[in-house]
């Protein structure tokens, strides 16, 4: 498996490309639901660009050394939203679709809890890996060789407050 390295500039460019693709499709939606943690930044920016309310659902399936081991999927009990409801047409976003299990199970979770509210859900991600069992409605880049994607926020997964503080002490910067 190869690796794909993405810096902040490239990351934001992918989100902008995704926004353009969604806009050019002509599809109108009422709200955005992002999957946390990976979809938080994508959802936040799309919410700002399209001026739509953002809801957040915490979903976890990776852990282990370096966060590279996919395990059992876990959902938060509730989602977080400021709007009274999710709307009839919902854009479900994440950073990537790897195996597709998280996206597929989230669609099932939504159907089980919000079927009476939601008429249509479309999915959007930055990266679509070939091995995924789900093909998202919108994606920026198809990855046929299923690389591990190194995103620009990953250094913080190895960070802790003591290391961060030491970094600034070493640079003689007062925090």
In three-state form (DSSP H/G/I as H, E/B as E, the rest C), the secondary structure along 45-68 is: HHHHHHCCCEEEEEEEEEECHHHC
* The token pair that represents 93 in the structure block: 């976003």
Spatial distance between the Cα atoms of 132 and 35, rounded to a whole number of angstroms: 17
SS3 (DSSP) at 33: strand
pLDDT score for 167: 80
Spatial distance between the Cα atoms of 169 and 141, rounded to a whole number of angstroms: 40
Would you kindly state where each structural domain of the chain is located, as residue ranges? Answer: 3-170
Helix ranges restricted to H, 85-154: 101-114
Spatial distance between the Cα atoms of 133 and 101, rounded to a whole number of angstroms: 7
pLDDT score for 100: 93
Burial letters 116-147, b for 16+ CB under 10 A, else e: eebeebbbbbbbbbeebebebbbbbbebeebe
Confidence band of 135 (pLDDT split at 50, 70, 90): very high
* The token pair that represents 125 in the structure block: 């991600």
- pLDDT tens profile 43-96: 999 999 999 999 999 988 655 455 555 667 888 888 888 888 889 999 999 999
pLDDT score for 8: 96
CATH topology of domain 3-170: Rossmann fold (3.40.50)
In this prediction the pTM is 0.86
Question: Taking the CA of residue 138 as centre, how many other CA atoms within 13 Å lie in the half-sphere pointing to its CB?
Answer: 26
Q: Which residues pair with 36 in a beta bridge?
A: 58
* The token pair that represents 129 in the structure block: 């890996």
């Amino acid at each position: 498996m190869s690796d794909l390295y993405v810096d902040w500039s490239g990351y934001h460019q992918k989100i902008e490309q995704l926004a353009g693709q969604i806009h050019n499709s002509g599809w109108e939606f009422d709200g955005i639901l992002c999957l946390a943690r990976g979809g938080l930044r994508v959802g936040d920016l799309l919410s700002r660009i399209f001026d739509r309310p953002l809801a957040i659902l915490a979903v976890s399936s990776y852990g282990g050394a370096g966060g590279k081991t996919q395990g059992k999927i876990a959902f938060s009990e509730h989602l977080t939203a400021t709007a009274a409801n999710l709307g009839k047409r919902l854009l479900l976003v994440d950073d990537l679709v790897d195996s597709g299990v998280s996206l597929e199970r989230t669609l099932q979770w939504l159907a089980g809890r919000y079927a009476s509210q939601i008429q249509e859900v479309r999915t959007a991600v930055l990266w679509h890996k070939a091995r995924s069992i789900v093909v998202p409605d919108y994606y920026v880049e198809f990855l046929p060789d299923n690389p591990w994607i190194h995103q620009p926020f990953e250094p913080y997964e190895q960070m802790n407050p003591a290391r961060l503080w030491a970094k600034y002490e070493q640079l003689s910067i007062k925090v």
